[in-house]
Structure 1
């Protein structure tokens, strides 16, 4: 019987993980700036969080998501309450990574669905209760249009959020997985969850 590996929070926060976090936060910031500059309905601000979560685990991912949201809040203060969403993304992605849910494409599809659902469950109440369903984000215009046509605020926000979040997660997870795929195995194994991708880093993902 193979003994299940025990994960230590201290081990997850290795020197390499701490050095990777600022890079991930910077990637999130750039994605957020692209989102605002082009008025896209996609946030593009979780690629760094997914990268850290998939290699370092849920707690490092959650902290990266939180810091990233606070940094993004410098230029977009209205987004700070959604730090809870970023934290949830880091946690869920990290636990999915521990369960090796990013090593084959069918598992990746499941992970996209799960992270999209959790993000929507966390972000929708914030959008409705804090901002009345309409935020500074472009995707809220679609929700506002639905509400103007008579759709219930919760249905409008949840439906719109789930749609665009799912697309956003597809981009974030696929991009992150492709980046991990080209990282040499000797570098991957230095991360706490890096061994999960060593086999697939040099061969075609199943």
Structure 2
């Protein structure tokens, strides 16, 4: 097993997670309103989904891949509606008094909601197939151990991004008043809702 596959996976995972889309907006908002732990755990939901799709691509599970792609419209519909729902919930939410209020069931809900949202975007798997093919998938040196290392790297790389984002954003949390956080919630909600509407419009 070559450690280079782990390093490549780290880079891929970090790169996949870094673009600020609806997931990033949600995690930033949750970090500001509920604390760094909630923001980070939300990001772990996305990292877990990335690892699952990375695993499917790395191990060549063509049946599952074909099924996900064939159900793209339904998954996009579900994902779009869920984005709209999260946008409304974010818009209406009130800032938490302190980060300690985010634990237990709240953390599980934060994790599962982002995991579900990320996993309803099966086109991510095409990205992983393309990247993995370009860096060694299918070559004689790419075996089961290499695939495991790469998928592990994808998860760790993605998690590293969400950790950096949540801790970075949390440094500014104390500079915002409750009124400011409320407006951030509203703005974040509108943006996330907009992503949902855009996803639904693409189905037409």
Both structures adopt the same fold (TM-score exceeding 0.5): no
The answer to which structure has the higher helix fraction is 2
TM-score between the two structures when normalised by the length of structure 2: 0.34
Higher relative contact order (CA 8 A, sep 6+): 2
